Amino acid sequence: MRRYMRITILFVFGLALLSFMACNKDETTSVVQTGLSVEDFEATSLNAYPIMGYLKTGSPSAPVLDGEGNDAAWGLTMPFDVETETNSGAGPVVTLKALYDNYYLFILATWEDTSKSEQKDFWWLGKPNSGDTTYADPKIEYSWHRISKPFYNYLGTVDKIRIDTTVVPPDTQIIYEYNKIDFSGDEDGLAFMFNVNATNFLNCTNMCHGTTMQTDTDENVDIWYWHAGLSNPKKYADDLNMNADGIFGDKGYPVFKENLKNDGPGFATPQDPGANVPVLYDSVTVPYYSTLPWVGGNRIPGYVIQNPTDGRADIQAIGKHDGSHWTVEIRRPLNTLIEDDDKTDIVINPDTDANLEFHLAVYNNSHGADHAISTGVQLMHFLQFNQ
């Protein structure tokens, strides 16, 4: 039997209705009701937490996406904790809130992460495997290395030149001082999987076939993937789709593209060498030139951040890290198929649908299969207003 985690929707009702008829406008406004509680709604067969607010005219304004999560509208809701697990044990608990209005679904997610990771696959000019802490061969050239995981190494700098006068002729020796390099090459992230029409949606592992994730034939799962490094700078989450062939992006350009040419970076900033910028935007890039005076320790982002287009731009999201937690705010239209014709997105119908099935995944300085996943199907339940 499926173990459902219930999310319920509280309708905070205040409706201003404008009726337009041919050459004649008739305006009527209903009474705005405030201060409603869960007892005002049908909840006899449901675990009625958290409460998700329904924003209409007369309610607090919709949340501003800023990663703070302190808008008055979020006060209409109650938090809902989703437990996650990894291959080695318990993962972080993700606290969710949600709201919706006539056009958008809003999600607020918070979880513990004591270290912010957002430098994914960056380029580092260094000399791996140089562990000698006393002397080094000055003839060894630095080269570009793609840092894709947490990385530990040594970067050598010239400390001083020593003259050995005990030999004839005197011998000049270059002495290097080594500083340990300890940095991350991946990113944090949060992903939601919404069931479009998959029959085998019991949990994430049911859709894992070997090394790939996929559905059965003619079935789809909508994926919203917020990247701390690759999508957050532009305030988006990537819009993906999983079908019987695997996971693919929706139509349009994604918010990031790989910064790669031959065996090194393809782009840099006008301030390079040595700018070491954490984010490389396509609007300020210049071609990378190897003839510039690059020095050991220089960094260049591994991806170029750009404006997404078409279906890849459906989901806006912004996250902030306070030193111990991530807070991410997400907004997506209830129906993206008005503009997108690929039929791969979930259509959210609060007035007619009973439940919205989803899973979530949390990435801690990781990507791919290395993540924590929610256990069992989660449900957003659209609770009907008890009139």
**Whole-angstrom distance, CA of residue 212 vs CA of residue 247:** 8
pTM reported for the whole predicted model: 0.78
Q: How far apart are the first and last CA of the chain?
A: 33
Residue 1: count of CB within 10 angstroms of its CB: 3
Per-residue confidence (pLDDT) for residue 73, from 0 to 100: 81
Contact of 339 with 347, CB cutoff 8 Å: no
The label of the residue with tokens 């609060």 reads: 350
What are the chain's domains?
Answer: 5-14+29-115+187-249+312-381 (2.60.40.1190), 122-183 (no CATH)
Q: Which tokens hold the place of 257?
A: 């593209």
Q: Is 88 helix (H, G, I), strand (E, B) or coil?
A: coil
CB distance 380 to 356 below 8 Å:
yes
Confidence (pLDDT) at 287: 97
Q: What pLDDT sits at residue 233?
A: 97
CB 256 within 8 A of CB 227: yes
Tally of CA atoms within 13 A in the half-sphere of 323 that contains its CB: 0
Query: From the centroid of its chain, how far is CA 121?
Result: 16
> Which residue's structure tokens are 């006539």?
102
Distances (CA, A) of 46 to 9, 105, 232: 11, 21, 35
**Is the distance from CB of 300 to CB of 259 less than 8 angstroms?**
yes
Q: Is 83 exposed, middle or buried (0-12, 13-18, 19+ CB in 10 A)?
A: middle
Of the candidates 173, 146, 207, 244, the residue with the CA atom closest to the CA atom of residue 357: 207
- Residue from 284, 273, 266, 277 nearest 301 by CA: 277
Mean pLDDT per 10-residue section of the chain, whose length is 387 residues: 40 24 28 37 37 52 91 79 89 89 88 94 77 44 82 62 71 62 86 88 58 72 96 97 89 96 95 95 96 90 96 96 97 81 79 79 86 84 50
CA dihedral 331, 76, 188, 207 (to 10 degrees): -70
Q: Residue 339 has what pLDDT?
A: 58
What pLDDT is stored for residue 357 in this prediction?
A: 83
Dist CA 165 CA 176 (whole Å): 19
Find the helix or strand (DSSP H, E) in which 50 lies. Answer: none
